[in-house]
Amino acid sequence: MLKILDKAGGATDDDDALDKAVWIDLCRPTDEEIARVQKAYDIAIPDRAHLAEIEASSRLRADRGRLIMSAPLVARHGEIGTLSPTGFLLLETVLITVRFGEMAAFDSVHESLAKAARPTNAREVFVHLLEDIVDRSADRLERVAEALSSASHEIFAEPETDSRKHRLAHETRRLRGLMISIGRSSEQMVKVRHAFLAIGRIATFVTDRCEPKIEDDLRERLAAIRHDIESLDEFESSLTGRVQLLLDAATGFISIEQNEVVKVLTVVSVAGVPPVLVAGIYGMNFHNMPELAWPWGYPFAMALMVVTTILPILWFKWRDWL
């Protein structure tokens, strides 16, 4: 799909308006659309493989005064989203963007500039686009922070008094679900961090290498973008520490619950040894066993097994192990 924003701020889908364009947005472009843009501006449009390269020299290049940049940005895909390679080709008169995923920032900026219907230039569109991407990435981090706060409340909440709801299986399922939610939040943070690093490099690169030199007001906005990314990076680092704390806490609580079960099983096994010993002794078929001739021999053996069962339990209680 090809979207065109002309120099007067009007939006059009007419391919014949390429020479008047100030922004050309190629979203999952066809070969024909790529060929039209390449012919109109005598520039090679990088494909997905080239945009996905991670070397700084591949992501940030200057060619005949034209800036060719790429960054992994978060595209809409399920709950977490996915990193999609995105290209920015900043020419003297036009900005060409190449993307292979749906991104709300691009659609929002295109719509807002079309509604404004005022003269603009490629550099202003580019800065506006970076600002919107950073704002939306910050919103993602805020949603992650809210999700982590909710998970923290769930993990550290007082246990329910209803014993049926406090069973090990229920608690394990609940904590496992929270760990999955925390893991998804961590995935979102990683994707946003990748995007921030790339956008910060792009902002610095454009400020230093753009020809003709970028206007002072746009330079200040690019500097503000870099400062925002630095502050958001610190915020993301604090969230990373919180994610690790919550994962450790959830794992620890699961271990505590399982240890309680193991402790009970241990007590039961220890308490069951003496009565088994008594039953084993009186189950031996020896002729010279005085208790065989006792009228109260059977009740005596049963009482002895009960007493030997209770004594270990009382001992565990006295040691405060139960």
Residue-level pLDDT, tens digit, the chain, 322 residues: 888 887 665 655 555 677 778 888 898 888 888 888 888 888 888 888 888 876 656 678 888 778 888 888 888 766 667 888 899 999 888 899 999 888 888 888 888 888 876 667 888 888 999 999 999 888 888 888 888 888 888 888 766 655 555 566 777 788 888 888 888 888 888 888 888 888 888 888 888 877 667 788 888 888 898 888 888 888 888 888 888 888 888 888 888 777 877 877 887 888 888 888 888 888 887 777 787 778 888 888 888 888 888 888 888 777 776 6
- CB atoms closer than 10 angstroms to residue 41: 19
- In terms of Cα–Cα distance, which of 206, 232, 231, 235 is closest to 221? 206
Query: For residue 66, which phi and psi values (nearest 5 degrees)?
Result: -100, 130
Separation CA 96–CA 29 (nearest Å): 12
- How far CA 307 is from CA of 142, 272, 278, 287, in Å, comes to 62, 11, 11, 26
- Looking at domain 265-318, which of 1.10.1060, 1.20.58, 1.10.132, 1.10.12 is its CATH number? 1.20.58
- In terms of Cα–Cα distance, which of 9, 27, 8, 120 is closest to 73? 27
145 CA to centre of own chain: 11
Separation CA 233–CA 173 (nearest Å): 33
Query: pLDDT value at position 144?
Result: 87
- The length of the chain is 322
User: 75 has which bridge partners?
Assistant: 82
Separation CA 172–CA 161 (nearest Å): 17
Query: pLDDT value at position 21?
Result: 85
Query: pLDDT value at position 245?
Result: 86
The answer to whether residues 56 and 78 touch, using CB atoms and an 8 Å cutoff, is: no
The DSSP element (H or E) to which 187 belongs, if any, is helix 168-209
Query: For residue 7, which phi and psi values (nearest 5 degrees)?
Result: -65, -20
Instruction: Look up the pTM and report it.
Output: 0.72
Separation CA 48–CA 31 (nearest Å): 13
Looking at the chain, which residues constitute the CATH 1.20.58 domain(s)? Answer: 265-318
207 CA to centre of own chain: 31
Q: In the structure encoding, which two tokens stand for residue 11, read together?
A: 């939006």
Query: pLDDT value at position 98?
Result: 92
- How far CA 180 is from CA of 137, 193, 264, 315, in Å, comes to 22, 20, 29, 41
Separation CA 108–CA 173 (nearest Å): 40
The answer to whether residues 100 and 84 touch, using CB atoms and an 8 Å cutoff, is: yes
- In terms of Cα–Cα distance, which of 53, 51, 88, 49 is closest to 67? 88
User: 299 has which bridge partners?
Assistant: none
The answer to whether residues 35 and 145 touch, using CB atoms and an 8 Å cutoff, is: no
Residue type, 160: E
Q: What angle do CA 270, 276, 282 make, to 5 degrees?
A: 150
Residue type, 57: S
- How far CA 314 is from CA of 35, 307, 311, in Å, comes to 86, 10, 5
